[in-house]
Amino acid sequence: MQQVLPLLVFDLDGTLAETAGDLCATLNVILHREGLPPVALADARKMVGAGARALIRSGFQAAGQTIDEARLERLFGDYLTYYEAHIADESHLFDGVVAALDRFEAAGFAFAVCTNKVEQPSIRLLTALGVHNRFRAICGQDTFKDKGANIAKPDPRFLFNTIAQAGGIPRRSIMVGDSRTDIDTAKAAGLPVIAVDFGYTDQHVSTFAPDIVIGHFDELWDAVAQIERNRA
């Protein structure tokens, strides 16, 4: 029987990669086309994390406007077209990501991505950043469906399905994220969660009570070891 490897499941935007610059730039292209004012990068960092539709809606709200679903879907398509053409103009992996993946892989860990970004842009981004082949599964908000509807975080089924697609099992998996959504998802699935404090959230991530908070990927090794000890 093939051994089931321990699995680290990462969020993408704000966890593995600093992507706010490209996400904000794309949002502002859409807002400009709609005659609305741009959103400052500092404000956009608090808006990203729930996917492009939520980001567009937040951009409209920042301008004191509402948006109906039909218009949102049209702008979502425009957003993806522009974003995919500019997916890594400014985006980059956070410091220490590659070294951490190397260390964990050498120790027998596997990796997956569970993001509310759409799947194909997620793969495209990780390819542009040179790490897509490090992950056994890269799952986005459109990867899994139930009765035609997307399954996305914080629905724990999204995390469970990602783990299964990566060949892992929940009792040997740990979530790593940057937001309340990631923490809520892990808790709903009964998994431990490590939060980075440099991501995209309107409150400090410790507010949402993850198991451990880290400030750099150099700290991930000890954080995982602590969780593994607590599980034993």
Q: What is the DSSP string of 69-123?
A: HHHHHHHHHHHHHHHHHTTTSS-EEPTTHHHHHHHHHHTT-EEEEE-SS-HHHHH
Average pLDDT rounded to a whole number, residues 59-75: 93
Instruction: Say which of 11, 22, 178, 211 is annotated catalytic.
Output: 11
Q: How confident is the model at residue 51 (pLDDT cuts 50, 70, 90)?
A: confident
In the chain the domains, ranked by start, together with CATH numbers, are: 7-18+91-231 (3.40.50.1000), 20-85 (1.10.150.240)
Residue 67, token pair as written in the block: 């948006």
Whether 11 is a known active-site residue: answer yes
- pTM to 2 decimal places: 0.92
Q: Is the pLDDT reported for residue 130 higher than 60?
A: yes
Average pLDDT, the chain: 94
Q: What integer is the mean pLDDT of 128-146?
A: 96
Length of the chain: 232
What's the pLDDT band for 10 if we cut at 50, 70, 90? very high
